[in-house]
Amino acid sequence: MKLLWNKCKEELKNRVNKSNYEIWLDPISFVSVDEKFITVSVPNKYYIDRINKDYLKLLEEIVRDIFKRDFGINLISSGETGEFTAQDSFIKKEKKERVVSTTHVTGLNQKYTFDNFIVGNCNQFAHAAAKAVAENSITYNPLFIYGDVGLGKTHLMHATGNFILNNSKKRVLYVTSEVFVNDMITSIQHSKMTSFREKYRRLDVLFVDDVHFIAGKEQSQEEFFHTFNTLFELHKQIVLSSDKYPREIPRLVERLKSRFEWGLIADIQPPELETRIAILKRKAE
């Protein structure tokens, strides 16, 4: 029976968006089968609600095709199976023993500053916009910086964050969008979405590098949409970077494209000869 169930999962994998499969369907584990139902476990009740809403009919169809009979799908959370007792115990212990740190983890690299950022015609506008955001002299929200790989977007984001961190008491967080997505997946699997949302929505400034990575990931885009809205409505600063202009990011949902254009969009072009020479000299120092 378990072999047939594995075939069902393979078929699910072929018929569902890759990111949705990895988040919602891959964690499903076979438990048992009787005359009427196949019982499977999922990490928590959040999964049960989502699978019942979006994937149950497809799952029943695939089960019918592979098992050659009609089975109902009985979804239970892993806590009811006893399969994840050690993990649950660890999570409870972690909560009990958690110590609140006085140091907020920022994700910023202190070596990137405005002082060691080489300014040229290629990046002058983006640099000025980032400096204005850092000094809180002008509100550009969000500030969206785009350009090809290796042109200094990440340096500029870290420099902005470090300036804010060193000149205010604001809560600042820098992440890549891949980190955001992985954080979300881990939080869903461990029933810690409340903590995830607190981490990203109780900030004064959020930097998300390579935001185009969330394109095509339905649940990640949904979660980031609500994170963006929460911060924006609270007048908190958002700084984003991408390799493309918002409208040109493929598979990015329209409502995120629209929001990314609400503030200021600054591009970074390939450096001209003088700037390239200055960059090489700085790296040689």
pLDDT of residue 216: 92
Q: Are 95 and 190 in contact (CB under 8 A)?
A: no
Q: What is the location of CATH 3.40.50.300 in the chain?
A: 114-284
**How far, in Å, CA of 177 to CA of 215, rounded?**
10
pLDDT of residue 253: 95
Return the structure tokens found at 224: 């980031």
Of the candidate CATH numbers 1.10.3210.10, 3.40.50.300, 3.40.50.2300, 3.40.50.460, the domain formed by 114-284 belongs to 3.40.50.300
Q: Look at the alpha carbons of 99, 101, 104, 108 in this order and tell me if their dihedral is positive or negative.
A: negative
CA geometry: angle 65, 22, 192, nearest 5 deg = 125
| 1-77 fold | GMP Synthetase; Chain A, domain 3 (3.30.300)
CA distances for 177 relative to 51, 181, 257, angstroms: 25, 6, 15
**pLDDT per residue rounded down to tens, the chain (285 residues):** 778 888 999 999 999 887 778 778 888 888 888 888 888 888 777 778 888 888 999 999 999 998 888 888 888 876 544 443 333 333 333 433 333 332 357 899 999 999 988 888 888 889 999 999 998 856 789 999 999 888 889 999 999 999 999 999 999 999 999 999 999 999 988 888 999 999 999 999 999 999 999 999 999 999 999 999 999 999 999 999 999 999 999 999 999 999 999 999 998 988 777 767 776 766 666
**How far, in Å, CA of 75 to CA of 45, rounded?**
9
Q: How many residues does the chain have?
A: 285
Q: Are 208 and 260 in contact (CB under 8 A)?
A: no
Q: What is the location of CATH 3.30.300.180 in the chain?
A: 1-77
pLDDT of residue 279: 65
Reading across the β-sheet that carries 143-146, which strands appear in turn?
Answer: 172-176, 205-209, 237-242, 143-146, 264-267
CA distances for 31 relative to 5, 78, 80, 149, angstroms: 10, 10, 11, 47
At which residue do the structure tokens 């199976």 appear?
A: 81
Q: What is the pTM of this model?
A: 0.69
DSSP designation for 65: H
